[in-house]
Structure 1
Amino acid sequence: MVHLKINYFSNALLKDCQMDVCLPDENKTKDKLPIIYLLHGMSDDNTSWIRKTRVERLLKSTKVALVMPNADLSWYANTPYGMNYYDEIAYEIPRVIHELFPQLSDKREKNFVVGSSMGGYGAFKLALSTNKFSYAAALSGAFNPKSNLVLRSFRPEKYWYGTLNQLDDFDTSVDNLDYLAKTRSTSEPLPKFFAWCGKQDFLYQDNLNFINTMNQLNIPIEHKFTDGKHDWYYWDKYLEEILKWLPINYSPEERLS
């Protein structure tokens, strides 16, 4: 794949930003290419999917584009202190991508979002709160940031009060996935959802709880729980399962059994 480093000015954040984009080496078809947005987790950035997984190699024979934005420690939120990361990634980056790369599709059925940890939360958040993505997948999704004690090991509590909206009233917050699922408009088509989490992951119970909520709301979600921890080794291991699940005509690399 062709790997591009994109520097652009974000109007949502009022600062220079970066993202990584991967494109097929060639595209001889007239059809516009599907896009997978890959969202990173806490302590990672827009380079993490390329550096820590096999994604570029796995997709070398598949006609699909990858977009990897940088969300810092924002939890893909419009923060109370005025940094609108949600607006940037939900609306601004897709606009920039389609202006720069007109060969990429802007159709919902060809736009997908996948994330790990905080990025898994971001993937489901974008899929539940917009009508831009038809498939969303999470690896060790951090689906309930309010209950996530690991946040406090990254930054003091006052930092998170400036990041996640309505932390004191999270039940009705736009950053609460349960609330987004319960209030999602029934007039718009539902995305397809997939979640993987390791049974030894500290987010395992959060994953069980969120999937139970989705089931109670009659929102279909495929899920798989296996042995595994909160680690790129396992996210890379199960990435190919997501690529097979997405409607991208995935062409696996040739392997000896």
Structure 2
Amino acid sequence: MKNFLFLYTFLLLGLNSHAQTANLKSQVKTDTIHSEILNADRAYTIYLPKGYESNTDKKYPILYLLHGLSGINSSWFESASVKQVQDQLAASGESVDMIIVSPNAGGNPDTEWNGYFDMPGWNYEQFFYKEFLPHIESMYRVIGNKQNRAVAGLSMGGGGSTAYGQRHPELFGSVYAMSALMDLPENRNNQTDQNSQTKRALLTKSVIENSCVDYVINATEEQKEALRSIRWFVDCGDDDFLLDSNIDFFRAMRNAKIPLEFRIRDGAHDWLYWQSALLDCLPFVSQSFQR
């Protein structure tokens, strides 16, 4: 009987120790939110830092991380190892503990809606601000102010994160755009049939209508001053087909006297480049959170 009690106590202590260790690890979860605006369920993948489950009084800064064309909410985590990169940077002190969330705004562009803007049949930007952001920041322990909220993304998501920062500077303290779809290349009016109502054509029109370059060029002095309240970082590879539009954005920002960091590194429009960009992105937004 004594041996049984000893074994039971030993196993119980072992289980408690395992549970405590598990609570200290970071977690990645996927969940869904029902959108009345989109009339659909939308998935999101979220990273919760180590100790999130055990330290229930602590609130965290948040990074909204946007995927590219044909990507989905899990793309960043499966193709760029966000969890592993953030775990390593946090352990070395280069990044602070934060919540990272990636919503689903994509899929096969020929059959699924893509894009972070409002367009006929797909009012995604309304969904993001009226439903998604409030849901995340009430469901999870988010600090919930400008200084502790950042947005970043790649390609289509890089343009989306830039546009979100432009139109909602009161919400975001920093923006990090990677290989961003700031605008369409030359001859953009020939990119799509102007009368087409396909999902891909509507996405193309929305990018033209929400040009990040044109926004800066046409910005009022009041809008420029609001943009100066954000820390900006633009990062694009020298072999990227979107490099010219990123350079155009940099020139527009410089002419408007809006500070930003701009990097052209060796690389193309691919996951190898975007995973390496995380090594700059996560410390950059961390610096904003610590201000």
User: Is the shorter-chain TM-score for this pair beyond 0.5, marking a shared fold?
Assistant: yes
Counterpart in the other structure of 1:122: 160
Percent identity of paired positions between Structure 1 and Structure 2? 26
Query: What residue ranges of structure 2 are gaps of 5+ in the alignment?
Result: 1-25, 91-95, 107-112
The answer to whether 1:70 aligns with 2:95 is: no
Counterpart in the other structure of 1:253: none
Counterpart in the other structure of 2:33: 8
The answer to whether 1:218 aligns with 2:245 is: no
- Residue deviations 1:159-216 (CA, integer Å, cap 9, x gap): 355335578xx5xx4x121343324635646211101111111111111111101111
User: 1:227 deviation in Å?
Assistant: 1.5
Residue type of the alignment partner of 1:209: D
Q: Is the 8 A contact 1:78 1:163 kept in 2?
A: no
The answer to whether 1:178 aligns with 2:216 is: no
Ranges of 4+ aligned residues in structure 1 off by more than 3 Å: 27-31, 145-149, 163-167, 186-189
Q: Which has the higher helix share?
A: 2
Instruction: Please point out which of 39, 51, 58 is paired with 1:26.
Output: 51
Considering only CA atoms, is the larger Rg found in Structure 1 or Structure 2?
2
- Residue deviations 1:116-161 (CA, integer Å, cap 9, x gap): 0000000101100012111001110110036487x95xx8762355
Residue type of the alignment partner of 2:103: P
Counterpart in the other structure of 1:104: 142
- Residue deviations 1:65-104 (CA, integer Å, cap 9, x gap): 011001125331100x231111122342110102211x11
Query: What residue ranges of structure 1 are gaps of 5+ in the alignment?
Result: 251-257
The TM-score with structure 1 as length reference comes to 0.84
SS in 1 for 2:144: coil
Counterpart in the other structure of 1:245: 284
Residue type of the alignment partner of 1:178: V
Provide the rounded CA distance (Å) in 2 between the counterparts of 1:98 and 1:166: 27
Residue type of the alignment partner of 1:12: I
Provide the rounded CA distance (Å) in 2 between the counterparts of 1:44 and 1:24: 24
The answer to whether 1:57 aligns with 2:84 is: yes
Counterpart in the other structure of 2:68: 41
Residue type of the alignment partner of 1:66: I
The TM-score with structure 2 as length reference comes to 0.75
- The count of corresponding residues between Structure 1 and Structure 2 is 240
